[in-house]
Amino acid sequence: MDSGRWRRGAVSRGMLPLLALHAVNEYYRLPWKPPVTAGLLASNTLIYLRPSFLDSLLPFVDEVWFNPHLILKNKDMKRFFLSVFYHVDESHLVYNMISLLWKGIQLETSMGSTEFASMVVALLGLSQGITLLLAKSLLVFFDYGRPYYSEYAVGFSGLLFAMKVILNSHSENFTNVHGLIVPARYAAWAELILIQMFVPRVSFLGHLGGILAGILYLKLKGSYSGPNPLTTIIRELTSLLRWPVRFIRNTFRLRRRRILGQGTVGGGERRSLSGTWRCQACTYDNSDWLSNCEMCGTSQSSESGGFSRQVSRRSRDLSLEELRRRRVERFG
């Protein structure tokens, strides 16, 4: 989370192609592509670029700065929720998105997309709420209004600190934090101090709020044995949004099945369909109103003997390719 005044026109897009190349390369080598992480990357990048088709819909960064004074005074929830998706410059965006790519892939792959999405929503509310509470507490109890209560900040890094806490919560390994080797479970705290020492413009309370949000999330999750209500809501919403797609896909499949027929060639899985009978010779599924196989001519009562058995033997002698060719010719 970066603080300070935003300057229009100070945007150089030389780093964005490198971010895109890095993201494509990471996703290309993954057997499963985490969709929520990709969506977060895309939304942050699109908000920063402000393409023409979104320009009229997106508020400007001056309207969404995270400022405790303005949020509490005006009850401005737009600043509370949207400030995490805005970045002051290209290096700020690229640094956060590369970190999100690495953490998001690991967390989403391990916990699943629905659980990961619910975690991101919870961490957003917790980190922003804790940051707001810390700023207000410093003002009320210590009369310390500046820079925290009146500071302007944006960026995704508060959530990234929370993700780092969760990712390393059970790790027994050591990690490198800007050249300093520390236990992985304390990496977020070490990074908080080092970044504040060398990059004074960043929001200390925003990063601290993210760390505390990650710790609180783990505590709440560990103490609650029931299903996550937020995960259940997201799963139901996702299922509701997918229903039109499933309906169209199933309709298309049914229509295609009616056009191409229900049959299978080549000894596939034996299955019984309502209103059909399967030819013992070529395994084609025929309608009940047909007495002979529509594909090879074998009688439905192939066990009765005589002509039907001869036809059955003859059809078995046909090659798989010949049966396919006859089926294609029959249905044009």
Instruction: Give catalytic residues, as residue numbers.
Output: 157, 207
By the 8 A CB rule, do 211 and 162 touch? yes
Count the helix, strand and coil residues of the chain and give each as a percent rounded to the nearest 5: 60, 5, 30
Structure letter (DSSP) for residue 292: B
Q: Which three-class secondary structure state does DSSP give residue 150?
A: coil
* φ and ψ at residue 3, rounded to 5 degrees: -120, 165
Rounded to whole angstroms, the Cα distance separating 150 from 68 reads 6
CA–CA separation, 45 and 97 (whole Å) = 8
Distances (CA, A) of 122 to 162, 248, 294: 10, 33, 59
Q: Are 110 and 167 in contact (CB under 8 A)?
A: no
